[in-house]
Amino acid sequence: MLDYSPLQLKNMRLQFNPRGKDLNYLILSDLRAFLQRFATTDTLAILDYGAGNSPYASLFPNADYRRADYVDCVGINYKVDEDSKLPSVPDDSFDLVLSTQVAEHLHNPSSYFREAFRVLKPGGRMVVTTHGVYEDHGVPFDFQRWTADGLRRDLALAGFSVKGMFKLTTSERFYLYLMLRWFNDGNLRRPGLFNKFWRRGCWILAGILRRPFHFIADWLWSDCRVVESGHLWAHQLYIVVAAEAVKPLQPPSH
């Protein structure tokens, strides 16, 4: 058992098991619903590439689960440099590379995708999620956003065959999330006593509205949680874009 701090454990709970009262419930519950598709009890070799606290490791209970990151995280296996290189990892090492909400923070995304391709076994998969439309976060280490077509292009340029593209937290769920964030932040950031009370009132109102509004979103707009390739055209606004990509089998030697 890794020695996580209470704050890390809280953040892991928020990511893996968000509750209706949580501010980012819509995004994080949709993200987990997407990643649940890849959960398995198989004994895979998995690389969590940009792992952080690895909140989704429990989806793979029997895996040889290795963790790589740019910063010193608890129980990290590989330290990654600014070009995303993993010099101590041989080619064709992993069955699955998992990249969750990492790509927007990369100095060199193309190098990262190429390195993921290198360390995957032929026939292995990369599952990647990153932001489509989202606020600046992790500043000053927040560098880019993707469209579905842009992520597909970048994975293909790295050598992958893209098996599926996905959009998460789309359309009505997208708008509801933005509205609740607007209330939570108090809308106005100007100085003054009135604006201070306005922001406080909006924050309280957002806390009251979140749970029932999240319930309504799950009831009415469950089709906007995870949207698959054939329906992407109908969902032009989305918080998260995701892909399942495969390293093609190498041609037989002669």
DSSP run (H or E) holding 39: none
For the cut 70, the answer to whether the pLDDT of residue 3 exceeds it is: no
Please name each of the domains of the chain with its CATH number.
6-171+225-246 (3.40.50.150)
In this prediction, residue 251 carries a pLDDT of 58
Q: 35 or 196, which is more confident?
A: 35
For the cut 80, the answer to whether the pLDDT of residue 124 exceeds it is: yes
Q: How far apart are CA 11 and CA 233, in angstroms?
A: 33
Name 48's Cβ contacts closer than 8 Å, sequence gap at least 6: 54, 56, 57, 65, 66, 67, 68, 98, 100
Q: How far apart are CA 210 and CA 233, in angstroms?
A: 29
Q: Which residue has the tokens 């193309």?
A: 110
In this prediction, residue 252 carries a pLDDT of 47
Q: How far apart are CA 1 and CA 18, in angstroms?
A: 22
Q: Return the CA Rg of the chain.
A: 19
Q: 4 or 239, which is more confident?
A: 239
3-state secondary structure of 126: strand
In this prediction, residue 93 carries a pLDDT of 96
For the cut 80, the answer to whether the pLDDT of residue 68 exceeds it is: yes
β-partners of residue 48 are: 67, 98
With bands split at pLDDT 50, 70 and 90, how would you rate the model's confidence at 191?
A: confident
In this prediction, residue 196 carries a pLDDT of 79
In this prediction, residue 44 carries a pLDDT of 97
Q: In this prediction, what percent of the chain has a pLDDT beyond 70?
A: 92
Q: Count other Cβ atoms within 10 Å, centred on residue 92.
A: 14
In this prediction, residue 254 carries a pLDDT of 46
3-state secondary structure of 91: coil
Which residue in 61, 53, 117 sits closest to 84, CA to CA?
117
Q: What is the pTM of this model?
A: 0.91
**Least confident residue range of 29-43, 143-157, 171-185, 209-223:** 171-185
**For 167-184, what is the mean pLDDT?**
93
Enter the tokens of residue 245.
Answer: 């990509």
Enter the tokens of residue 50.
Answer: 């940009």
β-partners of residue 226 are: 168
Q: How many CA atoms lie within 13 A of 11 on its CB side?
A: 8
**For 1-21, what is the mean pLDDT?**
73
**For 156-181, what is the mean pLDDT?**
96
- Residue 87 gets which letter from DSSP? T
**For 84-109, what is the mean pLDDT?**
95
